[in-house]
Amino acid sequence: MPTGSPTSGMSASETPYPGGPASGVPASGSPYPGGPASGSPYPGGPISGPPTGSAYGPFHGGDPFGERQEGWTDTPYGFSTPPGRRIEPSPPPARNRLVIGILAGLVAGLLLFGTGGYFVGRATAPNEPKAQQPSLGSFEQNQLTLNRATFAGTALTPIAEGFLPYLTSCTRPRANTGEKARVRCSLDGMSAIFVEYDSVADRDRARAKADTGDAPELTPGVARATEGTTPSGRITGNYLEYAYRLTESGTTRTVSGVWWDDARTPVAGYLLAYWKEGLGEKWEPMRDLWSRYA
């Protein structure tokens, strides 16, 4: 198992954004359908853009599950129809009672026939086709191609599948002890790390290392750790929200993270962001981003 934090490929000196921290664990409430008591990790709130300057999180220095790589540099990725003419009714012409009675009968018959015909038509009409999902744009298609190449040769594609069109700046840093491969990327100002471990036991030790129990105090509203299926239904395993303190250049900040893994294979993924600068001290943005693609 790796000797760093869940920011896969990042070191204790790294941060959660392209230049920031790297891991996370839940405490109270379910991140799966129904949502945790403290807030649902499913679509809830938009993801805020990446912070500026040093706010670019634990990407290069705050991953307690990673080791700093030579040559790394900090890079701030931030990279109704109009109404018709009114028809005025004409005054009814003078008619005798017989004519009026005949007309009234005709109108009633037409109304009944029209109403019945409408419902019969609705009952026999073919089902309307469901709206098609919008296709990926040129940017997402290009990222999908690039990222598939980066993930090739690993067992990480299934757990990262939904993220592939939206990840940027993906690299393959050196794997840590207990790991076979790791891919580190940027995602809307957060760090996204995917790790293939030597064994399920190595993976579980890494998760236990992230679950320090500090999250409730450092990041109020953290959800409890759970087991379940991701929103896409692709992966079933553990979900964890966690937090830790990271000191860089004399400044100490809190890093929050979301960890999820596949119970059947020795793989895991995690998102990292600065709790204050990146998330505004709220779990909902990170949960929302996770729930879109996991």
| pLDDT, tens only, 27-77 | 333 343 344 444 444 333 333 444 433 333 444 445 655 555 554 444 333
Closest CA to 181 of 210, 208, 160, 211: 160
Within-domain flag for 106: no
What is the separation of C-alpha 6 from the centre of its chain, rounded to a whole number of angstroms? Answer: 18
- In a domain? residue 151: yes
**DSSP 3-state of 239:** strand
How many domains, the chain? 1
Decide if 92 is inside a domain: no
Specify the amino acid at residue 157. T
Domain limits for position 266: 53-72+137-293
278 located within any domain = yes
- CA 270 from centre of chain: 11
Query: What distance in Å separates the CA atoms of residue 196 and residue 199, rounded to the nearest whole number?
Result: 8
Structure tokens at 282: 């709220």
pLDDT tens sequence across 244-286: 999 999 999 999 999 999 999 999 999 999 999 999 999 999 9
**Residue 42 covered by a domain:** no
Kindly report the pTM of this predicted structure: 0.60
pLDDT higher than 90, residue 146:
yes
Question: pLDDT digit string (tens) for 87-141?
Answer: 344 444 454 555 555 555 555 554 444 444 433 443 444 444 443 445 899 999 9
C-alpha dist (Å) from residue 111 to 100, 102, 104, 116, 193:
17, 14, 11, 9, 65
